[in-house]
Structure formats: C-alpha cells, structure tokens
Amino acid sequence: MRLLLALLITLLLAGTAPAAEIAGVHIEPSVTVNNHVLALNGSGIRKKFFVKVYIGSLYASHRLTSAAEAMRDDGDKLIRMNFLHSKVEKGKITEAFREGFANNSPGLVDSAEVKKFLSLFTDDFKRGDVVDLFLGGNGSVIVKHNGKVMGTVTSPRLAAGVLAIYLGARPADEALKNGMLGKG
C-alpha cells in the first residue's frame, strides 16, 4: 500500500513539473533578464486552425497560478515565442497582436504605443526563431528577435495589454493560456 501511495504521489508531482522539451524544442527552466532570474511559469503551443505556430512560455519572478494574479502582479515577466511553423509573415503576427489588443484591451488598439510596438516587428518568422517580449514591472516592453533588441516601448498600459493577449478574458489561444499558467 505504501509503495502504491508513493508511486501515485510521484506521478502527481511529475505532472506539475515544468516541461524540459515541447515539440522537440528545449524550454529553458529559467532566463536572466537585466540581472534578474525569471523562472518558467508554464508553456504551451499556440495553434491556429490545427497548425502549430509557436511554443509560448511565460517566465516570472515568482509562481503565478491564475490569470488574475498574473495581471495584478507588478513584477518582471517574459513571454518567449519559439516558432515551430516554417514561415509566419510579419503581417500575420502584427494582425494577431492587433486582434489580441482588440479582444482584451480595446482602448489600446489605435494608441501610439501599440502602433510603435507593432512597428518593431519588421521580419517574417521561421521555424527556430525566438521572439522575447520582456514586460518590465516599470512598464517597459522590450522586443527581441533571436537575441537582437528590436526596440523598447515604455507604457504600463501596453505591458498589461500584451500580457492580456495571452492571459486575458479572450486570449489568443485558451490552451496556450492554460499552459502558460502551468495548467496545461
């Protein structure tokens, strides 16, 4: 009986451990941004019409278990997108972001900060590309493509709006939202 109980506990705990690999892509257990270590909160695959587009991972300074908690949290966060699809045109990405803002932060859609944020995406993305969206607790949003800084926009409204695209009431992908919250 004790052996069975021990096995059951082990299986339950293993199910809550962060994934080391998804769809053949190694997911880092932590990242360092501005000399601060952010731990993997969770990951999932963004799908569009059954096509695997990218792996989305959320990193935070401490464990976030709900969307409401993540949206209230004023700590640094990083959203990492590891692209899986052979090619995603920049127009498709910017349109997806615009739709995400419209669904979750409609007051931001036509704002100057969203226009500046969308202008940072100048290239198409292909399988193997990594895009980082650093959401600083001070409201800074830093976009990196394959490690190269594409630009920064400082706006607490924008930082909250970007996070809402993934974790808001109408997320881009519900399964991805659950994965980023460690529930996937």
DSSP assignment of 131-184 equals EEEEE-TTSEEEEEETTEEEEEEE-HHHHHHHHHHHHSSS-S-HHHHHHHTT--
Expressed as residue numbers, the domain containing 56 is: 21-180
Give pairs for 12-16: CB < 8 Å, separation 24+: 16/182
Q: Are 39 and 60 in contact (CB under 8 A)?
A: yes
Does a structural domain hold residue 132?
A: yes
> What pLDDT does residue 184 have?
67
In a domain, 3, yes or no: no
pTM beyond 0.85, yes or no: yes
Within a domain: residue 9?
Answer: no
Which neighbouring-strand residues pair with 144? 132, 149
Distance from C-alpha of 85 to C-alpha of 46, rounded to nearest angstrom: 10
Tokens of 12: 């339950």
Residue 4 within any structural domain of the chain: no
d(CA 136, CA 89): 27
* pLDDT less than 50: residues of the chain: 1-19
Q: Would you tell me how many other CB atoms lie within 10 Å of the CB of residue 71? A: 15
Q: Is residue 79 part of a domain?
A: yes
Cross-strand partners of 40: 59
For residue 28, how many other CB atoms are within 10 A of its CB? 16
Q: What residue type is assigned to position 141 of the chain? A: V
pLDDT at 19: 46
The answer as to whether 175 is a domain residue is yes
Look at residue 72 and tell me if it is in a domain. yes
Q: How many residues does the chain have?
A: 184
- The domain that holds 107 is classified in CATH as 3.50.70.10
Number of separate domains in the chain: 1
pLDDT of residue 181: 96
Cα separation, 37 vs 23, in Å, equals: 25
Spatial contact of 69 and 125, defined as CB atoms under 8 Å apart: no
d(CA 111, CA 103): 15
Q: What is the pLDDT of residue 13?
A: 38
For position 31, what pLDDT does the model report?
95
**CA nearest neighbour of 32 among 129, 121, 147, 128:** 147
pLDDT given for residue 34 in this prediction:
83
